[in-house]
A = this chain, B = another copy of it.
């Protein structure tokens, strides 16, 4: 979905507001493997996935590649603390497929919030969505067996399981790939 369409679905935008959104966001296509941001950079953008799939990951203390999040179509992403506090991030954001992405700088986004109260509610809804996702994730992570966590993912985000490699899914769930492979094989 394109940005104005998405926003229209979430709130009743005036014609003018729609035009403003149109110009505030930049639409770009990137190949699989492209990084939206990398460790040590300051992330100044909010991104919206029109088409494709992105993965945010980091390297743990022991040097292991750990997936923090996946983002599919119609979702917003950013390096939350980095873009808010203007400090370097420790995460990477990698596109796992050729993707179409919309982006806006934090400055421009704040400007929208300041000048049009239609966007205040919208901004709130967007972050709210992110927060809900996180709560679900935490719920599934805690006091659940590896198998329960995998089944919950399968139930709630079946398309991720189809689009993403086993190793990435395993680290997203906080389990090893060997364990996930054994779960899948049903043994």
Pick 7 A–B contacts, CB within 8 A, sort by A.
A68-B135, A113-B121, A114-B120, A120-B121, A120-B124, A127-B127, A127-B128
| A85 closest partner in B (C-beta) | B132
Collect the chain B residues with CB atoms within 8 Å of residue A114's CB. 117, 120-121
Q: Which A residues contact B (CB, under 8 angstroms)?
A: 60, 64, 66, 68, 80-81, 84, 110, 113-117, 119-121, 123-124, 127-128, 130-132, 134-135, 137-139, 141-143, 171, 174
Contact residue among B66, B113, B135, B143 (Cβ-Cβ distance under 8 Å from A124): B113
CA distance A94 to B42 in the complex (A): 39
Q: Are A134 and B124 neighbours in the complex by a CB distance under 8 Å?
A: no
Q: How far is the CB of A117 from chain B (nearest CB, A)?
A: 4
Q: Are A138 and B132 neighbours in the complex by a CB distance under 8 Å?
A: no
Known: A66-B143, A68-B138. A117 touches B128 (CB 8 A): no
CA distance A27 to B137 in the complex (A): 33
Collect the chain B residues with CB atoms within 8 Å of residue A131's CB. 80, 127, 130-131, 134
Known: A80-B128, A120-B121, A124-B120. A141 touches B141 (CB 8 A): yes
